[in-house]
Structure 1
Amino acid sequence: MENQRMRCVRTWRFAGAMATLGVLLTAMAPAAHADAARNKQWPLQAYGAAQKIWPVTTGKGQVVAVIDTGFRTTHVDLTGQFLPGKDFAPASYDEAANAGHGTMMASLIAGHGHGPGDSDGIRGLAPGVTLLPLVVDLQDANYDQEIAGAIRYAVSRGVGVINMSIAGVTPSAIEQSAVAYAEAHNVVLVAAAGNDGAEVSNYPASFPGVVDVGGANQDGSIWSGSDYGPHIVLTGPGSNVLGDDSGTDTQYALGNGTSGATAYVSAIAALVRARFPGLTAGQVINRLIKSAIDPDAKPGQTTPDPHYGYGVARPREALTDSIPAGPAQGPLARATDPLAPVPTLAVSADRRKPGHLGVWVLPVGALLSVGCIGLGLALLRRHRRRV
């Protein structure tokens, strides 16, 4: 699933014994009749999902769009959770061969489990959420158009949250335009920071207004592969994460990466939107930020930590703490649309005489603006996404 332009930010590898939970994520006893898979979902236990979150809300009524490389919609833990989606990949794209990543993200957000009382298998943090699956081919030359199209389509379907567990180092004007469009239409966008353990900006996560998510270990420390920098907004569970896989309808996989952390933060955003339907997307993000905990915060610090952002996301606190709604826009800067038409100013009739400065300044200014935009797009096109 990796290529020079964009990639799913995942690192699959089977992990050994899990560390003891630290003070950031308080341990809870697993359900008495849960199977081995459920018992290994440490984020659910750490967050006290069954005891402290789902009695408040499961996210019912919310739709989360998941933009990814494919989905196994027939998985036993996900049946009935998907709306009819849309495929933005070329006709030749083999979704079945690339469905593992998207299937796992879907399960972490909204898996309902299976068996008696749904006590077996994978359960998402927001099991009442409905998913909108949007398929993209990250190896296609027009990947940025696919992602932008998926974002705009999700907005047209009325979703509250868009999950993007994908990343690349080169920003795309087409993607940024779609991000600005989604923000203007009251959608929470959540994206992965990246998995190189480096100080680097990845996109779409680093566009203004997007919740850029890093990964944390079970003890609350930062996962070693999590990319970092001043653009990080929040951190979520990102190591030893168990979810559904796509090989069969009952297959699981254990993985590390900011992809899974992103899925969990998207689930929290959906829970908050269900609990507080009157909040704007910016105010939802404000609750996520104000309820997070940053173990590296210095006294009086107001800027995000380069590794934790504003802290580890905490769903119970986001749902129950007394937090003022704040401004409608929220605490993050908003993306601007680099493809928006250049505004033109009308010139009055008495200023259209030959030789008048106004008749030359406006056209020349417009031409320079258009030229700069065209040059910027050309330069962006020359930079390819990396592995």
Structure 2
Amino acid sequence: MRSPRTLAAATLVAAAVWAPPSASAVTPPPVDENLLPAPAPPGPPQPTTRFGDCVTADPTASDTGGRPGQVAGQDLRAVWALTRGAGQTVAVIDTGVARHRRLPHLRAGGDYVSSGDGTDDCDGHGTAVAAIIGAAPDPTGNGFTGIAPDVSIMAIRQSSNKFRADTDPAGSGYGDVATLAAAVRTAADLGATVINISSVACLPAGAGLDDRALGAALAYAVDVKNVVVVTAAGNTDGPGQCPAGNPDASSDWADVAVVASPAWYDDFVLTVASVGPGGVASPFTLAGPWVDVAAPGEDIVSLAAAGEDTVRVTGTSYAAPTVSAVAALVRARFPELTARQVMRRIEDTARHPGAGWNAEVGHGLVDALAAVSGGSSPRPTPSTEPLTLTPAAPVTDTGARDTALRAAVICVALSVAVAAGARSRRRRDPVPGD
């Protein structure tokens, strides 16, 4: 059920259409390092204006008690006995992250929407994402704490539903794959050890989204700057989100009907699907051969950007930060592991589906304790625990249903061929550097 208040980010729009060479399977464009955005101070590439009111606390989305969905099935006390994430910096590339007493380790990273420094959040989306990762415990004891409460959060505002370009007076948001590419490079250059991207651009397979600069930025972050990049799979449950999905998606990319960026750059990102109570894939989570792991994305508790309220939210945007937090915990616990080894460890220690990897939940539910324990080997023995979750306590309102940056559906009446060659998958092939 939708709340009247929606914690939604700006539409991530496709900047251009790219026509790759003809072939038989859908793949992302090849990475071209020459398209890496040049280093530059963060800022919108064109003047923008805020056209909507910023979000305020709304009682209809407020937390009504009960166990936070994101900690279901996780033994955080045991995890925190080993590490709380100190020394790690998670860049939240989103709608900004508001300064809040429960985000004491927040640092400014830059603003691609307006003239701020990244610590303004007019939409409320980025603050909710950041708090899932690193909110400090509340002295009043309301039971909500970030998964990695000692990490630093780097706030980068890259999109907003409350701003539009001055050249587009009818626009309904700001931020695209080009500004996302620039933000990824900035986060990597500023020292992030983990990057969280809870935004998705979706379009029908074969339409051809020109996100090659983003691909180059992701490759730079992972292979040059040694950063773990985590991204949301995307939602299919409403207007402005991904199309109907990939009901036939498997390891065969030929079955893909809808592509999602940056998720489809699977060699460089951990793509996170959403599950609900019981470990079942959420009905809105976008399936695909790029899905790596899953995390709870329903009935999630987090912070409101304004005031002291906590809210309950739902969506793959709020599944991704749980995995980003686990990545930070692993990096703090095992600093010798490379970014690729950390990603592999999270996959290998997930609670695997009975039949093995699948396109809905990937390798299964992320397991924080398994990921941070069991020695320092980058290739631990996979967990055999079934994919199950402890159901969260009932609440009177499920909160705002996330739009994963209202994943832009690009419907083009244009025939374009698809890229050549099948792409190797991290879930099957050896990881370079392992």
Normalization by structure 2: what TM-score? 0.63
Decide whether the 8 Å contact of 2:159 with 2:176 is kept in 1.
Answer: yes
Does 1:81 pair with 2:101?
Answer: no
Selected match of 1:177 from 216, 232, 240: 216
Distance 1:220 1:137 in 2: 31
1:291 to 349, 366, 376: 349
Matched position secondary structure for 1:120 = coil
Offset, 1:46: 2.5
* Equivalent residue, structure 2, for 1:70: 96
The corresponding residue for 2:149 is 127
Asked if the contact 1:14–1:254 (Cα under 8 Å) also holds between the matched residues in 2, the reply is no
The letter for the 2-side match of 1:314 is D
Is the contact between residue 97 and residue 121 of structure 2 (CA under 8 Å) also seen in structure 1?
A: no
Distance 1:295 1:322 in 2: 24
Could you tell me the percent identity over the aligned residues?
Answer: 30
Q: Give the aligned partner of residue 284 of structure 2.
A: 225
What is the alpha-carbon distance in structure 1 between the residues aligned to residue 226 and residue 336 of structure 2?
11
**CA deviations over 1:217-238 (Å, ceiling 9, x no partner):** 1211111110001110110110
CA gap 1:306/1:15 in 2 versus in 1, 3 angstroms:
farther
Task: Tell me the distance in 1 between the aligned counterparts of 2:272 and 2:122.
Answer: 23
Secondary structure class of the residue paired with 1:316: helix
**Which residue matches 1:112?**
136
**1:81 Cα deviation from its structure 2 partner:** 1.8
The superposition leaves residues 211-263 of structure 1 with CA deviations (integer Å, 9 ceiling, x where unpaired) of 11100112111111100011101101100111101131x02211110011100
Looking at structure 1, the residues matched to 60 and 361 of structure 2 have their Cα atoms a distance apart, in angstroms, of 25
Quote the Cα distance in structure 2 between the aligned partners of 1:106 and 1:97. Answer: 11
Measure the CA separation in 1 of the matches of 2:288 and 2:13. Answer: 21
Task: Determine if the alignment matches structure 1 residue 41 to structure 2 residue 100.
Answer: no
Distance 1:77 1:45 in 2: 21
Displacement, 1:122? 3.1
Flag the 1:137–1:2 CA change in 2: closer, same or farther, 3 A: closer
Q: Is the contact made by 1:90 and 1:137 (CA closer than 8 Å) also made in structure 2?
A: no
Instruction: Please report how far the alpha carbon of residue 3 of structure 1 lies from its aligned counterpart in structure 2 after TM superposition.
Output: 3.0
CA shift, 1:134, in A, is: 0.4
Q: Secondary structure at the match of 2:159?
A: coil
Moved more, 277-286 or 130-139: 130-139
- Matched to 1:180, the amino acid is A
C-alpha distance in 2, partners of 1:73/1:95? 6
Q: Secondary structure at the match of 1:104?
A: helix
| Structure 1 portions without partners, runs of 5+ | 7-11, 17-34, 299-303, 328-383
Q: 1:323 to 1:62 in 2, by over 3 A?
A: closer
Contact 1:77-1:121 at 8 Å conserved across structures: no
Return the offset for 1:296.
Answer: 3.9
- One-letter code aligned to 2:75: G
Greater mean alpha carbon deviation, residues 229-238 or residues 171-180: 171-180
**Could you state the TM-score of these two structures normalised by the residue count of structure 1?**
0.70
User: C-alpha displacement at 1:326, in angstroms?
Assistant: 4.9
For residues 152-171 of structure 1, the aligned pairs below 5 Å read 152-169=185-202, 170=209
> Using the alignment, how far apart are the partners of 1:94 and 1:267 within structure 2?
20
Give the partner amino acid of 2:70: P
1:147 equivalent in alignment to 2:172: no
Query: In the TM superposition, what is the alpha-carbon distance from 1:322 to its structure 2 partner?
Result: 4.9
| CA distance in structure 2 between the partners assigned to 1:96 and 1:163 by the alignment | 17
TM-aligned CA deviation for residue 56 of structure 1:
0.7
Aligned equivalents of 2:158, 2:143: Cα separation in 1 = 27
Provide the rounded CA distance (Å) in 2 between the counterparts of 1:88 and 1:160: 21
Which residue is equivalent to 1:198?
A: 245
Deviation at 1:324, TM superposition (A): 3.5
- CA drift of 1:121 comes to 5.8
Tell me how far apart the structure 2 counterparts of residues 309 and 221 of structure 1 sit (CA, whole Å).
12
Aligned residue-pair number:
296
Deviation at 1:274, TM superposition (A): 0.3
**Alignment-derived partner of residue 307 in structure 1:** 360
In 2, distance between residues paired with 1:153 and 1:109? Answer: 20
Contact 2:234 2:285 in 1 (8 A): yes
CA distance in 2, matches of 1:145, 1:254: 31
Distance change >3 Å, CA 245–CA 2, structure 1 → 2: same
Structure showing the higher helix proportion among its residues:
1
Q: Which residue of 2 aligns with 1:237?
A: 296
Of structures 1 and 2, the one with the larger relative CO (CA 8 A, separation 6+) is 2
Deviation at 1:146, TM superposition (A): 1.9
